[in-house]
Amino acid sequence: MKVKKGLYYSEDHEWVKVEEGVATIGITDFAQHSMGEIVYVELPMEEDELEAGDVFGVLESVKAASDSFTPVSGEVVAVNEALEDEPELINESPYDAWILKIMMSNESEIKDLMSPEEYEEFCNKED
Amino acid sequence: MHKFIPNTKEDKNKMLEAIGVESIEELFTEIPEEFRLGRDLDLPEQMAEMELRKHMRDLGKKNQSTDDLTCFLGAGAYDHYIPSVVKNLASRSEFYTAYTPYQPEISQGTLRVIFEYQTMIAELTGLYASNASLYDGQTAVVEGAIMAVAKMRKRETVLVSASVHPETRKVLKTYLEHQDIKVIEVGLDNGVTDINDLKGKMSKDVATVIVQSPNFFGIIEDIEPLAEVAHEQKSIFMQSVDPMSLGILKSPGEMGVDIAVGDAQCFGNGLNFGGPYLGFIATTDKLFRKLPGRIVGETTDEEGKRAYVLTLQAREQHIRRERATSNICSNQALNALMATIYLSTVGKQGLKEIALQCINKTNYAIEKITALEGYELLFDQPVFKEFAIKGTSDVQKIKDKLLEEGILGGYSLGTEYDTFKNSALYAVTEKRTKEEIDKLAEVLEVI
């Protein structure tokens, strides 16, 4: 299992990269591995206003369909449309295949997320 | 034959003894006195089988079907011709006893039929995909609305035109009021959706806009501008459509419709005393993963041969549990089969001819009736196979008189629209002859 440095992590197995108030969000290597082959990604719409904990989309794999929750609040400013045609990008390279970008309305929410080290420990416990 | 449950007194006593109760009444002591009937049901004495058969036959004779009467009644249920081959094939036991095809190994025939049905509906509506069918046109509208709300997530308002069938709007409200979804009606302008009222009611909270065309008054609505208004706010645009009209009219897909729904009873299904009917739903490539209910897909088996299976089941309640957006786990397979046989029988050219005949005969009827004194069109608009006539006398009186002459006609618009008293809808399908239409006009003339 790969955990990338320089990112924040949620208990729902999402990674968050913060740049100038914009959070780029994807799912972790641990998440893609436990889901198996991902066959469909339902993206949110740009301009959607989301609260931390809201469902932003659905990930469907050969095993299950699961809701995805946003770890931070704000407005959706971009979605990765490439995933509509190639959902397998998430399996191939989970830290490059971002799903959405949110203009954060409350940057302090980042404090509730885990560091790479904390997340690694969190996953070890889940195993 | 014994009425209800054929137990003798001895049987009953034995059973009571076995469970240790004195009387049958004692079994109901849990139900408070005030809610009990306190007497036997008022049922007639039992009959012998021979008497019962005669009794049922006599009752049956009171029914008057569209074989006995000339039908100009529509309002959502239509008397189209059903070729003999439809019932002949559909009554093969391989079809009518088949249950939901979970097991592709033993259900290739049923799955294939559903796949063909889906393909035909998708082609007719000009959209990407159709599901395996829904209960009826009313619930199809509801399922489309729920699908749109599920897709749009945070939006909780559904706009529905007042030109959508009144019963459909009632069913929609009944379903949605318990899901915290607001249903707001858009008003009428000369029998069609008032586009200015629609613009005024649009907002970022509108998940979907629902219109019907041909609408409840039979009028062909100008769909494209309405779709544009909805899309300006990124709302999903839904059209409820009489699929028979698609033999001649522009398809929903060509006009920017995101979800097309309707009732396909008109395709090879009888009036069936009001049901079962055949709901259909089709949608775009952007939305098809939100389609409710069953979907059949084509694949290849391990020998590389073409095969059919239920597909995209990740949307359904047995996978998604409480997060499923639809709880339809069945479809109207037998009705869909009849529609499939019907469409294969009439073909592309036949469907166009039927649609054209509907339009031509309807316009002939309009000409005849509006030439009579005291009758005029309620709305001067283009229609498909139904039209609204405003008269001077009470619609019930007209209906009674027509029935005396063997004509079933005139849906009273006053029942659902306060503003349209003394107005009635008449439907003219390809089955109606010139003589029948002339007779309708003759009877109307003397009322």
Give me the residue from A42, A48, A67 closest to B154, CB to CB.
A48
CATH label of the domain that carries residue A66: 2.40.50.100
In a domain, A122, yes or no: no
Sign of the torsion formed by the C-alpha atoms of B213, B216, B219 and B225? negative
With contacts defined as CB-CB under 8 Å, which chain B residues touch A60?
289, 314
C-alpha distance from residue A78 to each of A23, B153, B419 (Å): 10, 17, 49
> Residue B279: CB partners within 8 Å, gap ≥ 6?
B133, B134, B135, B136, B137, B138, B139, B140, B143, B261, B262, B263, B264, B332
> Residue B93: CB partners within 8 Å, gap ≥ 6?
none
| pLDDT(B314) > 80 | no
Confidence of residue B212 (pLDDT cuts 50, 70, 90): very high
Q: Report the CATH number of the B84-340 domain.
A: 3.40.640.10
User: Which of B151, B153, B236, B288 to mutate: most A Cβ within 10 Å?
Assistant: B153
In a domain, A2, yes or no: no
Q: Report the CATH number of the B70-80+347-445 domain.
A: 3.90.1150.10
With contacts defined as CB-CB under 8 Å, which chain B residues touch A45?
152, 234
DSSP state of B265: T
Structural domain of A72: 8-108
Percentage with pLDDT > 70 across chain B? 97
Q: CB-based contact (8 Å) between A40 and chain B?
A: yes
Give me the residue from B234, B314, B323 closest to A45, CB to CB.
B234
Q: Could you tell me the residue ranges of all domains in chain B? A: 9-53, 70-80+347-445, 84-340
Q: Check A65 against B314: CB less than 8 A apart.
A: yes
Give the other-Cβ count within 10 Å of B64's Cβ: 11
What's the total number of domains in chain A?
1
- Residue spans of chain A under pLDDT 50: none
Predicted local confidence at residue B98, as pLDDT: 67
Predicted local confidence at residue B388, as pLDDT: 97
Residue B262: left if φ>0, alpha if ψ -120 to 50, beta else—which one? left
For residues A11 and A71, give the distance between their C-alpha atoms in angstroms, rounded to a whole number.
9
For residue A67, give how far its alpha carbon lies from the nearest alpha carbon of chain B (Å): 9
Give the other-Cβ count within 10 Å of B279's Cβ: 29
Taking CB atoms and an 8 Å cut-off, how many pairs form between chains A and B? 19
With contacts defined as CB-CB under 8 Å, which chain A residues touch B154?
48-49
B323-339 confidence digits (pLDDT tens): 776 677 778 899 999 99
Summary count for chain B: helices (H), strands (E): 13, 17
Tokens of A1: 């299992």
Tokens of B402: 């027509």
For residues B343 and B363, give the distance between their C-alpha atoms in angstroms, rounded to a whole number.
25
For residues A55 and A69, give the distance between their C-alpha atoms in angstroms, rounded to a whole number.
4
Closest CA to B73 of B192, B218, B275, B247: B218
For residues B115 and B112, give the distance between their C-alpha atoms in angstroms, rounded to a whole number.
5
pTM of the model: 0.88
B329-381 confidence digits (pLDDT tens): 778 899 999 999 999 999 999 999 999 999 999 999 999 999 999 999 999 99
Give the other-Cβ count within 10 Å of B354's Cβ: 22
| pLDDT(B4) > 80 | no
For residues B159 and B202, give the distance between their C-alpha atoms in angstroms, rounded to a whole number.
8
What is the arithmetic mean of pLDDT over B128-141?
A: 96
| pLDDT(B94) > 70 | yes
B145-179 confidence digits (pLDDT tens): 999 998 888 899 999 999 999 999 999 999 999 88
B220-258 confidence digits (pLDDT tens): 999 999 999 999 999 999 999 999 999 999 999 999 999
